[in-house]
Amino acid sequence: MGGARANVAAVQPRAAGSAMGGATSADKKGELASQAEPVKVPTIAEIRGAIPKECFQHSVPYSLLLVVRDGMVMASIFLLATRILRTPGLSPEPLAAWEWLGWAIYAFAQGTAAVGWWVLAHECGHGGFSQYKTLNDAVGWVLHSALLVPYFSWQYSHGKHHSKTNHLIDGETHVPETREGLKTIGFDVMHRWFGDDCFAIWELFSHLVVGWPVYLICNVTGGRRLKGQVLEKPVPYKLGIVDHFRPGSPLFPETWQIRIALSTLGCFITLAALGVAAKKFGGLAVLVHYGMPYLWANFWLVLYTWLQHTDPEVPHYGDEDWTWVKGALCTIDRPYGIFDWMHHHIGSTHVCHHLFSTLPCYHAVEATKHLKAFLEPRGLYNYDGTPWPVAAWKVAKTCHFVEDIHGTQYYKSFGSKPKKQ
């Protein structure tokens, strides 16, 4: 993408071979020239035809092996930590500073490893884990419940995210706010007081630390239409709180009430188990073994979703311009190093995942090679090789809002000038 936008809305491609944030001057000239040559966005059938059929085939033994693999990684981290470190609350003597540092490292390592199970449960919700719905739901419910995720509830809302990707009205999760919307709650004033860098730190904290539980509880960054924000006079939460736990939540159809109840039951079972553990071993022990790793797992899942769909050069669409294929193509693949292996390449093969969500994650790397070969010459493949911490900082500083919910919109920051009326 380089210096020119990937204007999928106008069906104008980037120069072949260009990538976000890394185009040369020649690339930029090619991009600008290519904007005068609109091309047809391929159909999903045409895109699928570029991927070998074997990439869509499931393997139940291999999927279950991945569950065991991730469990063994987490068990190894647990055993290593408990052999080296004394557990707070269980030791009669205060812990040394190096032991507290050790538990901080453990929290990051264990929470990061737990995302492997998170991704596999996510695969279950999509039907990518196996060709058997009952097996998918059984495995997904257990894994997600263990991570305090309401499995069926999130399956439904995440399905909306996939069906309306980068839709400014009906999208789900990380739907951009408008400049005026953020001004009504004082974010422009906060930005003036804090400055760019401190405001970016606030953005990182609000997304990566509290963003996930707030989304589950009241659907923050969810679709506008459901929350009454596309009326002539917006009425926020006109249907009440839109949460992921009540069977009667406006987020779900009545036919899903039993599944939503089962989702909430799974979370309650995990909370009950944590309560029993706290009573037996102490709250501090549960905090270091589960609570802090849980926060790191949340960090990763929000980071992935945020960076996969957010960049100043990636468009978001109103009703007038959105189509399913255009929305799905507004997804960004990024490299995550060792975490790609730990997290089943969910971040580096996400374009493929949005186009073909039932394709097994263990075939996604191979499928992405063919997908890239098909899409990149058309200027329709988004890839950003920026290291993820740098990319997160860039997004936090430059992607605060869009000007409107109509047409084709791009993220702007509070440092940008308002749109002329």
Least confident residue range of 228-232, 250-254, 338-342, 369-373: 228-232
Q: Is 107 helix (H, G, I), strand (E, B) or coil?
A: helix
- 62-to-187, 210, 212, 341, 347 alpha-carbon distances in Å: 48, 34, 30, 15, 21
The per-residue pLDDT for range 259-285, each reduced to its tens digit, is 999 999 999 999 999 999 999 999 999
> Within 10 Å of residue 305's Cβ, how many Cβ atoms?
22
**Structure-block tokens of residue 83:** 């052999």
The per-residue pLDDT for range 76-90, each reduced to its tens digit, is 999 999 999 999 988
With 0-12 CB in 10 A as exposed, 13-18 as middle and 19+ as buried, what is 370? middle
What are the backbone angles phi and psi of residue 408, rounded to the nearest 5°? -115, 125
Calpha distance 255→234 (Å, rounded):
28
Q: Domain segments of the chain: what residues?
A: 60-305
Side chain identity at residue 263, one-letter code = S
pLDDT grade, residue 91 (50/70/90)? confident
Calpha distance 20→313 (Å, rounded):
8
185 or 68, higher pLDDT: 68
Judge contact between 391 and 307, C-beta under 8 A: yes
Q: What integer pLDDT is reported at residue 420 of this predicted model?
A: 54
Judge contact between 13 and 349, C-beta under 8 A: no
In the block, residue with structure tokens 């990182």? 204
The per-residue pLDDT for range 375-406, each reduced to its tens digit, is 999 999 999 999 999 999 999 999 999 999 99
| Mean pLDDT, residues 135-162 | 96
DSSP sequence for 58-106:
--HHHHHHHHHHHHHHHHHHHHHHHHHSPPTTT-SSPPPHHHHHHHHHH
In the block, residue with structure tokens 């069977």? 247
